[in-house]
Amino acid sequence: MKKYFFKTFFIFFIAFTLTSCSDDKYATLTTYLSTIDNYYKSMILEEETSYIDAKENKNTKLFFNRVSENYTFTNTATIFFESINSNKNIDKSIIFKDSIQICNALNNKKMQYYNLNNILSNMANDISDYMNSFDANTFKFTYDKNNSKTLKSIDDIYIYDDSAKQNYNKFSAAFSKYIKEHPLKKGKVKLVGNDLMNFMYTNSNIYTKTIGIYNYINTYDSKKLLELFKEQKTIISNTITNIDNVKSSYDNSSNEYKTLQYLQNTFIKLNSVIDTETRNLKSNTSVNISEVTNSFSDIAREYNNYLNSFNTIVFNK
């Protein structure tokens, strides 16, 4: 069950059945959602087969029972948390309410306008909330049927990478396709939006690895942390450049320009934090993990402001 942990970061567009969301004028969005839906259905079925003999475990049994009963998947990710973190009942279902909002909007023929920006803003905030609430000291994962133990090595943390990346690529491709094909915005959301999604994926992944190493390894691998921070700096640098490109589309007195500037400044701040912690590592000084994670939260907040600066997206035109 341990590989579920990173998947839960990015199941905020959790899959659900879309049979009632098939109106032709919403074809682009329903195609996007169907892609996500089909992926998670196949993932769950595959894992159910692999872990069929693990049902004796109370949490795992709850997981499979709920999945079997409700293939809309609206609560699946919460069950991931319940199964993986048996010592702490983390109810993060709020992260996945956005998929329900979209489906309801598509079904409601009287609803002519729907604000996609608010949905994405909620996602950014909910990811930030989860990262802030993550308690590495109590985190446990379940594996090998009934056995449960705390993280003991760097290998325990890095085991998730391939499945997490595969999961993210599925989401990113669909998200990119939708933004690219939407008749409005014409790339203004695409460049920063996709870059932010990539940044949030990578840094939530790095953040958890860093926390895991910091809390569970007494003499943590400084070389590995330096590699992670170097990876972050590359993404941050690309993001700052991309924001510059998008800013050029707006007058410098516009709200869009100003919010992009705030967002860019937040990345610059995080870049400075990473530089400081890199120096600390090289000089064998303790790494201030909270400073790094606080910067992630700042980015989520400014991304929320960025999204809200755009006008409502109209689906029916």
Q: At what angle do helices 255-282 and 289-308 cross, to 10 degrees?
A: 170
**For residues 176 and 289, which has the higher predicted lDDT (pLDDT)?**
289
- Structure tokens of 119? 């949905």
C-alpha dist (Å) from residue 162 to 76, 157, 158: 21, 12, 9
Least confident of 43-57, 204-218, 258-272: 43-57
* Size (the chain), residues: 317
**Per-residue b or e along 201-228, where b marks 16 or more CB atoms closer than 10 Å to that residue's CB:** bbbbbbbbbbbbbebbeeebeeebbeeb
* Mean pLDDT value across residues 191-206: 50
* Mean pLDDT value across residues 121-145: 37
- Structure tokens of 227? 């590699």
**For residues 13 and 300, which has the higher predicted lDDT (pLDDT)?**
300
- Structure tokens of 225? 């942390």
**For residues 222 and 29, which has the higher predicted lDDT (pLDDT)?**
222
* Mean pLDDT value across residues 112-128: 38
pLDDT of residue 283: 77
Task: For the beta carbon of residue 307, count every other beta carbon within 10 angstroms.
Answer: 24
Q: Which residues contact 58 (CB under 8 A, 6 or more apart)?
A: none
Going from N- to C-terminal start, the domains of the chain cover 4-308
C-alpha dist (Å) from residue 78 to 5, 68, 141: 11, 15, 14
157, 213 Cβ separation under 8 angstroms: yes
Question: Which range in 105-114, 145-154, 236-245 is most confidently predicted, on average pLDDT?
Answer: 236-245
**Per-residue b or e along 97-112, where b marks 16 or more CB atoms closer than 10 Å to that residue's CB:** ebbeebbebbeeeeee
Q: How confident is the model at residue 62 (pLDDT cuts 50, 70, 90)?
A: very low
Q: Which of 281, 123, 133 is nearest to 210 (CA)?
A: 281
Whether residue 240 has pLDDT greater than 80: yes
Whether residue 241 has pLDDT greater than 60: yes
150-163 residue pLDDT tens: 333 333 333 333 44
310, 185 Cβ separation under 8 angstroms: yes
Percent of the chain predicted with pLDDT > 90: 0
165-198 residue pLDDT tens: 444 444 444 444 444 444 333 334 444 444 555 5
pLDDT of residue 304: 53
* Mean pLDDT value across residues 230-244: 80
Whether residue 245 has pLDDT greater than 60: yes
35, 192 Cβ separation under 8 angstroms: no
**For residues 293 and 140, which has the higher predicted lDDT (pLDDT)?**
293
Whether residue 281 has pLDDT greater than 50: yes
Q: Which residues contact 260 (CB under 8 A, 6 or more apart)?
A: 192, 243, 246, 247, 250, 306
